Every structure is written in structure tokens, then in C-alpha cells.
Amino acid sequence: MSREIPSGKPLRLLRMLYDSGKATTTYTLNMKQSDLAKQLNISRQALNVHLRKLRTQGLIRTGRGFIDVTEKGLAVIGVSVNPAFVFIKVSPFKRVQAYKEMMQFPVERIYRVTGDMDAIIQVGRESLDEALKRVAELEGVEATRSYITIQTIK
């Protein structure tokens, strides 16, 4: 199924929405509410009551076939919206094994990158100490640099 690339006014609208918008962090679940209700072992009506409460509090957004956990919702469950990043330099001979081991870390994201460093892990601020301990145990790590974000600007 090919998608048409917008042009003209739709493209200008998309650009305006992007330029006028604010960068946010959300986690999206693409699942039917009936399937979610089954997973929770509750009725669809009970699920709707709970979702309505969460939506009213600004913790989620819902639509046809998706549920977004908002930044406010993430904060309530303890997920940092201003994460920490650990840049990791690994010996070339140990990279493959290090990447495999990093996949087992309790982190938000792992990026393989080019340049002075080989990988970047993204963690919540509260998990930074644990992540640094795990990185220190990796064989072949030559250097690390840690950065904690203080604010999302855009």
C-alpha cells in the first residue's frame, strides 16, 4: 500500500502543525480496546470508565485504535520525560558482545552511533546510577560520558 506524499496546502498545514507544536514524549499502544480489556480481564465498559478517568486527568489520549500515555502520565508512573544519556566507547573487538549485553539492560533506548563513541543508552534519571554500574561491568568499555537533560526545549 503506497502512501501519497502531501503537497500544496496539506503539506503547508503539516509544516505549520510541526512548527507550532511542542515536542513531547508519548508512548503509543496500537490495540483495540476490546483486546486490552481481555488482557486486563475486565469488561470493555469497565475499561472505558478507567480510560475516561485517565483521559480527564490528562494522563492519556485515546483515539480509534490507539492509546497514548502522555508526559504527565509517564511522570505519574515514574518514567522520566527528561532522560539521561550515557555515551559509550567500546573496543572494536568487543562491540558485538557489548551490544548483545546492552540489550539486556533496563534502559529506554540503545543507539548504535558513528563518531567518537559507539553506543548511546537512554535511561530515566532515576536509573542512571544502575545503568552506569551495568556499563562498568561490560568487557571492552574504554570510555563513557554521561549527560542528564534538564529541560526539553523543542
The pLDDT tens digits for 99-119 are 999 999 988 889 999 999 999
- Residue range(s) in the chain whose domain bears CATH number 3.30.70.920: 84-148
84-148 belongs to which CATH class?
alpha beta
Residue-wise pLDDT for 17-57, tens only, equals 777 777 677 778 888 888 989 999 999 999 999 999 999 99
Sheet of strand 66-69, all strands in order from the earlier edge strand to the far edge? 27-29, 66-69, 60-63
* pLDDT higher than 70, residue 2: no
Residue-wise pLDDT for 75-106, tens only, equals 788 776 778 999 999 999 999 999 999 999 98
What phi-psi label fits residue 97: left (phi over 0), alpha (psi between -120 and 50 degrees) or beta? alpha
- Residue range(s) in the chain whose domain bears CATH number 1.10.10.10: 24-76
- Cα separation of 151 and 131, whole Å? 21
The hierarchical CATH code for the domain 24-76 is: 1.10.10.10
